[in-house]
A and B are shown apart, each in its own frame.
Chain A
Amino acid sequence: MSKNIEAKDLNIYYGSFRAVEGVNMSIKKKTVTALIGPSGCGKSTFLRSINRMHEVIAGAYVEGKLELDGQDLYGAGMDPVIVRRQIGMVFQRPNPFPTMSIYDNVIAGMKLNNKRASRKEFDETVERSLRGANLWNEVKDRLDKPGSGLSGGQQQRLCIARAIAVQPDVLLMDEPCSALDPISTLAIEDLINELKNDYTIVIVTHNMQQAARVSDYTGFFNIEGTGKPGKLVEMDETKTIFSQPTQKATEDYVSGRFG
C-alpha cells in the first residue's frame, strides 16, 4: 500500500521563475512528514509537485528526480493522471463536489479508476472510507444528502474519505486544518495518527504545534527574499527539529522569532 518518496535535486519552475531549488528529501512509508516554513517558501509548491498538481498552472515544470518506490514520477511517458491516482490529496479548504451526494463524493475517485464496480463494492467502499475518516457515524443516515450541507470539519473529513477511497500509496495534505475550528482540527489530527498505519502522509502546515503533534519527521523550508527560490533548510525527526535544530534559521522559526 504505502510507498517511500525520494526527491533528488528537485527544482520546480513556474515558467522562468524558479520557485523551489535543490530539494533532496526522503520520505519514509507509513510516517507523517510535516513541511513547515514561512509563506511563499515553496512548501506547498513542493507538496503539489509530488502528485504533479502544480502543473495545473500553465508553464510549470520540474528538473531533477522525484521517485515513488523507485518509479520516476516525472519519467518520459508518465501520465500525471496516473500519478494522481496513486497519490491522493486533501486541500486547504474543504472541497466536496457540491452537486454530488455524500455517497457519490466518496466513490467519485473509484468511478474514475474502475467504472464497473458493483453496487455492493461501492457500498463497502463508502462504509470503509467513511469509517476510515471517522465520519461514518455522523453521516450514515444521510448518505444521499449533498456533501455541501455538512459542517466545515465534516466536509474536510469527507474529502479525506474521498481521497482514501481509492486506496492511494500516499496522502498529501495542504494545510488541511487552516479553515477549521479547534475541535474539528483535533478530529483531523487524530485521524492523521490513525491513517499513518496505512498511508504515507505528507502535510503542509502553518501551525508549528500541529507539526509537533502529528508528525514523525519535519522539513523546514525557507526563502531568502522575495523573488528568490525556496529551499529545504533542514529535515530531521520532528523532536530534533523542535529541540536541537542544526540551522540557525530553523531555530529562529520554530522558536517563534520570525515567520
Chain B
Amino acid sequence: MTTTEVTPTPRTARPVTQLGDRVFAGSAKGAGILILVVLAGVAAFLLTEAFPALVAPASELPGEHNLAVYIWPLLFGTLLSALIALVIATPLAICVALFISHYAPRRIAQGLGYLVDLLAAVPSIVYGLWGVGVLAPASVGLMTWLNDYLGWIPLFAGPVSATGRTMLVAGLVLAVMILPIITAVAREVFLQAPRLHEEAALALGATRWEMIKMAVLPFGRSGLISGAMLGLGRALGETMAVAIVLSVSGVVTFNLVSSGNPSSIAANIALQFPEASGLGVNVLIASGLVLFLVTLAVNMLARYIVNRRSEFSGAN
C-alpha cells in the first residue's frame, strides 16, 4: 500500500469553465437582469407620474370626484370584459387544442394549427373594426333573444342596445383575440402528455375521452392555467378593440346587453389621453398603475395555483 500525496487545492480556486460557457452564463444573467430593470423602470414611471393624482384633493381632480370613484368603473369594466372573454375562450380553446392534438387526422390538424396561429397575427385594430362593423350589428338579434328569454338573469336585463356596442360584444371580440394564445399553449401541453400514461389509461379500458380526462387534462392542467392567464393578461390590457366597440357611459353594471357600459382602463386611457392635461394626465397614469397591479396579481395567483399541486404534476 502506498499513500499518495494529496496536493491541497486552494479553497479559493475557481472551477474550470469553458469560455463559451462563461459567455452564455453571462448573457443569460444579463437578460434576466434586463427584465428586472425594465420592469422596475416601468413601475417607477407609473408611481412617480401617478403620485400627484394620488395625493391631490378630490376637488382639484377632473370631474371633481375622488380618484377611486373615477377608476373603479374603469377597473370594473376591465375585469368584466376580460372575464367574459376568458369564460368564452378557455373552453373553446381547450376543445380546439384537443381536436388538433388528439382527434383530427394529422394533415388537418396541422392546417388548423396554422389557422389558429394566424388569428394571433391579426392586428387588434382590425378586430375592433370587425367587432363594431360586423359582430355588433349581427349580435343584436342574439341579445334580443337573450333578453326575451333569459331577461330574469341580471346579466341580460336590457334594455337591449340598438347598435350592439355592448359589454357582451366587447367580451366576444376579446375572446376571439385571446383564443389563439390559449389554444397554442394548450395544444403544446396536450401534445406533451406522456404516451406512457395515455396507454395506461387505454389499457384499463378507457375510451378516448376517458383517456383524455385521466391522462391528458390532469397532465396539462398547469400549462392550461398558464395559457389562460396569458390570455387574461392580453384581455386586461387590450386597448383598441374595446375602445372602438364599447359604447361607454361610465356606469357600473353587470348588464351585458344594454348601451350603458363601463369602459376599460386601457381603452379609457387611449380615448382620453389626447385631450388630457395637467392633473388629468396623472389621473390616467394612476389608472394605468392600477391595471399594472391587477395584472401582476392575476399572474401571481396563477403561479400560486400551478404550484399548489406541483407534487402531483408528474414532474417528479
Q: Chain A: residues with CB nearer than 8 A to chain B?
A: 51, 53, 56, 81-82, 84-85, 88-89, 91, 93, 95-101, 108-109, 112-113, 146, 148-149, 159, 162-163, 166
Contact = CB atoms under 8 A, between A and B. Distances in A.
B272 interface: no
Interface stretch (B42-50, B76-84, B194-202, B273-281): B194-202
A91 B203 contact: yes
B205 A98 contact: no
Contacts of B196: 91, 93, 95
B174 interface: no
A15 to B, nearest CB: 14
Nearest to B205: A85
Contact of B312 (A98, A159, A166): A98
Interface string B182-199: 000000000000101111
A97 B202 contact: no
Given A97-B215, A148-B314, 15 more contacts: A56-B198, A56-B199, A81-B205, A84-B203, A84-B204, A93-B196, A95-B200, A97-B200, A97-B214, A98-B316, A99-B313, A109-B204, A112-B204, A148-B312, A166-B205
Given A98-B314, A99-B218, A99-B219, A91 B206 contact: no
Q: Which of B206, B210, B218 is packed against the most chain A CB atoms within 10 Å?
A: B206
B311 interface: yes
Q: Which of A88, A98, A100 is packed against the most chain B CB atoms within 10 Å?
A: A98
Given A98-B197, A98-B314, A146-B312, A81 B206 contact: yes
Interface in B163-188: none
A126 to B, nearest CB: 15
Contact of B202 (A56, A93, A146): A56
Closest 6 CB pairs of A and B: A98-B314, A85-B205, A99-B218, A109-B204, A89-B203, A84-B205
Contacts of A112: 204-206, 210
A91 B199 contact: yes
Q: Which of B203, B205, B210, B316 is packed against the most chain A CB atoms within 10 Å?
A: B203
B207 interface: yes
A88 B203 contact: yes
A232 to B, nearest CB: 23
A97 B197 contact: yes
B215 to A, nearest CB: 7
Contacts of A149: 311, 316
Nearest to B195: A56
B315 to A, nearest CB: 8
Interface of B: 194, 196-207, 210, 214-215, 218-219, 221, 309, 311-314, 316
Given A99-B314, A100-B312, A109 B221 contact: no
Nearest to B204: A109
Q: Which of A88, A97, A109 is packed against the most chain B CB atoms within 10 Å?
A: A97
A53 B211 CA distance: 13
16 contacts: A51-B203, A53-B199, A56-B199, A81-B205, A81-B206, A93-B196, A95-B197, A96-B200, A97-B200, A98-B313, A99-B218, A99-B219, A99-B221, A99-B314, A149-B311, A159-B200
Contacts of B215: 97
A97 B203 CA distance: 13
A45 B197 CA distance: 19
B32 to A, nearest CB: 30
Given A98-B314, A99-B218, A99-B312, A82 B205 contact: yes
Contacts of A51: 203
Contacts of B313: 98-99
Contacts of A95: 194, 196-197, 199-200
A159 B194 CA distance: 16
Contact of B207 (A56, A81, A88, A159): A81
A109 B205 contact: yes
A84 B200 contact: no
Q: Which of B197, B205, B316 is packed against the most chain A CB atoms within 10 Å?
A: B205
A226 to B, nearest CB: 24
Contacts of B199: 53, 56, 91, 95
Contacts of A99: 218-219, 221, 309, 312-314
A111 to B, nearest CB: 9
A99 B311 CA distance: 8
Contacts of A166: 204-205
Nearest to A86: B205
A81 B199 CA distance: 12
A98 B219 contact: yes
Nearest to B215: A97
Q: Which of A84, A89, A99, A112 is packed against the most chain B CB atoms within 10 Å?
A: A99
A51 B205 CA distance: 10
A109 B194 CA distance: 18
Nearest to B315: A98
B57 to A, nearest CB: 55
Contacts of B210: 112
B316 A148 contact: yes
Nearest to A147: B312
B166 to A, nearest CB: 40
Contacts of A163: 203-204
